[in-house]
Structure formats: structure tokens, C-alpha cells
């Protein structure tokens, strides 16, 4: 028996005794002839490895008012994450990401292809994903992460790795610039078979998990502060009336993208491509993302939304 499988066995037995029989760790330790701390660790392992699954059900009648209003107005499923009144932005993001991580786990099943964007929110989600046993899951990066300063390989590898590990999935990186200097380069590269294979995978995703970028706010979204856009680019976006982006694709407050030249150079999937993906999970938090979220809702690129309470309130209360 391998070390790994004996650990799983022990963890399983400890988990059964703890969660099903309600023994104390002390009692389990005696029975299994190990120290109590080992039992504590076995249980941690059991939870982390998905041997133990803890679900919190939200019965329909317990949905919050905000969730119901979002559902009515936009026809999507919303999860409003309660946030303490005086919580920091970082705190909100963290909490929203934890909830989102559970939604991702719920959405991924056998043979699913999961498209993932990147950004601060996505990184936080990756850190919190619970493991889930699923077969033949594929995780595919939806937009490039390279820029003038970095190739983005290690950054996106860490993020994708988080997703890949959680579902024991095959991971498909997309090692291209986030935004090309020249749209022709992009077109040329898109014809490369190694690249077009990934593009096909992206287009056939069952689930797309993404955050939203926002031009305003502090801290700025990664895309606007990380060396991806130069001064001219930013000015172009302002002129075009852009309020935010989804996977490095920029849109206006009414959800439109036509005439936004920058998108010709973007590595991300067009919003049309996105809308063909059946399950589109958007995770977003913080008041600064208000206009960005409004735009994304108008663009109908969201089918399921995880949002913090403050932002949810802003979006439903001030008309939309």
C-alpha cells in the first residue's frame, strides 16, 4: 500500500468517526493509536482533499432580497456575499472569492472544460478552491497574461495550477500577450495550430469563470496598473467610453464593444464567444466595480454572479 493511499484511508476513517459518529478527536486518536494532533491533521486533510464535503444549502425561501431582485431584473442567479460594514476592499474580495470557490466546485463535473480568466479576484478564488473528485476535467486559460514586463507564465501557471489541482484536471496554458501591439500579429498567431487548438478548447468551454476589470478604483484592476496598457492605450479606452473589461476585452456601460479598437489586439474571447458558453460565472466585489458590473450585465455575459453585498446594493438600488 502506498503512503498516499494509507493516509487517505486513515483520513477517511477518522472523518467517518468524527463527522458521522461524532466522536471527539481524543477518542478517535485512542482508537486509531495515534496522537490527537495527528487526528486533527487527518481531518484537515480529509476536508482539503474533498473526502469530506460540507455544503450549505440556501433554500429558495431563504434567498436574500438582493438576490431575488437581481434574479428578477437580470434573469441570472446571484449569490450575495454578506460583508461587514467596515470591511476593507481586500477583505471583501477575499470573502467573495471564498464563496465563488464553492460555486466553481459546484459547477464543475466530470468531463467539464473550465475556462479561466485571470486577475486579483481569480487568484483569490484559485487559492480557496476546495478539492473535488471529478474525471477528465480540462482547465483552459482564456486570455494571455504576457506584457512588456513579464511573460506572465509563472503568474498564470500558479493560478491555473490552483484550478488544475482542485479538480485533478489537465491544464492548458495560453502563452500569448494579453494585448498585442499589432492586430496582425494576433491574426497570424491565431492560425498557428498550437494556438488554435487552445482557441477551440476555449470556445467549447462548459464553464467560464472570470472577474471584471474596472478603470477606476483603488487598488486598480491588474490590467490597468500592471504594465499591460500604456498611456496612449488608456486614453483610447477613455475616448471609446470603456467602463470595464472581461478577460481583457473592453466594453461600454451599455455592454457594447463595437468600435473599441483595442479589442482587435486583445487576446481574450470576444463577448460573442463568451455568450456561447453555457455557464458564465462572474465574480466581482467592491464599489469601484459598479459601472463595470452594470456594463457586463447589460452585455449579458453573466449567467451566475457572485458579488459582495455593497456592490450588489449599488447595482440594484440606483436603477439600472
**Which residues of the shown chain bind DNA in the complex (CB under 7 A)?**
3, 7, 18, 24-26, 34-38, 40-41, 43-44
The partner in contact with residue 1, picked from DNA, its own copies, none with C-beta cut-offs of 5 to 8 angstroms by kind, is none
Residue 38 interacts with its own copies (CB under 8 A): yes or no: no
Min dist. Cβ of residue 162 to its own copies (A): 17
| Complex with its own copies: residue 55 or 194, whichever CB lies closer | 55
Residue 21 interacts with its own copies (CB under 8 A): yes or no: yes
Min dist. Cβ of residue 45 to its own copies (A): 13
Burial of 218 per CB tally in 10 Å (0-12, 13-18, 19+): exposed
| Complex with its own copies: residue 91 or 236, whichever CB lies closer | 91
Taking alpha carbons only, the member of 141, 93, 145, 147 closest to residue 117 is 141
What does the alpha-carbon distance between residue 257 and residue 245 come to, in Å, rounded to a whole number?
Answer: 10
Measured torsion, CA atoms of residues 141, 147, 153, 155, in degrees rounded to the nearest 10: -80
The partner in contact with residue 26, picked from its own copies, DNA, none with C-beta cut-offs of 5 to 8 angstroms by kind, is DNA
Residues 6+ apart with CB under 8 A from 102: 130
Residue 50 interacts with its own copies (CB under 8 A): yes or no: yes
What does the alpha-carbon distance between residue 295 and residue 297 come to, in Å, rounded to a whole number?
Answer: 5
- Contacting its own copies within 103-132 (CB under 8 A): none
Min dist. Cβ of residue 52 to its own copies (A): 5
What does the alpha-carbon distance between residue 204 and residue 64 come to, in Å, rounded to a whole number?
Answer: 33
Only one of the segments 55-63, 141-149, 196-204, 267-275 lies at the binding site for its own copies (rule: CB under 8 A); that segment is 55-63
Amino acid at each position: 500500500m502506498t503512503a498516499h493511499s494509507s493516509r487517505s484511508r486513515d483520513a477517511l476513517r477518522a472523518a467517518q468517526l468524527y463527522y458521522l459518529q461524532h466522536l471527539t478527536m481524543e477518542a478517535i486518536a485512542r482508537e486509531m493509536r495515534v496522537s490527537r494532533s495527528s487526528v486533527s491533521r487527518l481531518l484537515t486533510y480529509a476536508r482539503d482533499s474533498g473526502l469530506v464535503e460540507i455544503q450549505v444549502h440556501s433554500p429558495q425561501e431563504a434567498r436574500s432580497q438582493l438576490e431575488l431582485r437581481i434574479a428578477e431584473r437580470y434573469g441570472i442567479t446571484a449569490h450575495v456575499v454578506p460583508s461587514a460594514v467596515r470591511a476593507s476592499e481586500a477583505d471583501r474580495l477575499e470573502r467573495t472569492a471564498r464563496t465563488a470557490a464553492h460555486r466553481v466546485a459546484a459547477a464543475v463535473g466530470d468531463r467539464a472544460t473550465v475556462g479561466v480568466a485571470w486577475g486579483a479576484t481569480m487568484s483569490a478564488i484559485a487559492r480557496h478552491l476546495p478539492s473535488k473528485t471529478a474525471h477528465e476535467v480540462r482547465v483552459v486559460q482564456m486570455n494571455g497574461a504576457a506584457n512588456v514586463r513579464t511573460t506572465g507564465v509563472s503568474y498564470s501557471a500558479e493560478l491555473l495550477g490552483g484550478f488544475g489541482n482542485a479538480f485533478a484536471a489537465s491544464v492548458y496554458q495560453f502563452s500569448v500577450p494579453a494585448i498585442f501591439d499589432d492586430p496582425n500579429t494576433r491574426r497570424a498567431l491565431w492560425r498557428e495550430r498550437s494556438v488554435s487548438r487552445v482557441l477551440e478548447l476555449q470556445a467549447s468551454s462548459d464553464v467560464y469563470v472570470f472577474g471584471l476589470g474596472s478603470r477606476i478604483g483603488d487598488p486598480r484592476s491588474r490590467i490597468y496598473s500592471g504594465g499591460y496598457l500604456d498611456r496612449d492605450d488608456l486614453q483610447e479606452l477613455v475616448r471609446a467610453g470603456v467602463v470595464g473589461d472581461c478577460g481583457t476585452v473592453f466594453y461600454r456601460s451599455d455592454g457594447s464593444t463595437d468600435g473599441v479598437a483595442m479589442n482587435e489586439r486583445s487576446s481574450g474571447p470576444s463577448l460573442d464567444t463568451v455568450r456561447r458558453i453555457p455557464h458564465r460565472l462572474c465574480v466581482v466585489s467592491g464599489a469601484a466595480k459598479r459601472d463595470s458590473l452594470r456594463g457586463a450585465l447589460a452585455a449579458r455575459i453573466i449567467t451566475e454572479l457572485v458579488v459582495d453585498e455593497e456592490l450588489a446594493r449599488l447595482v440594484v438600488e440606483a436603477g439600472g
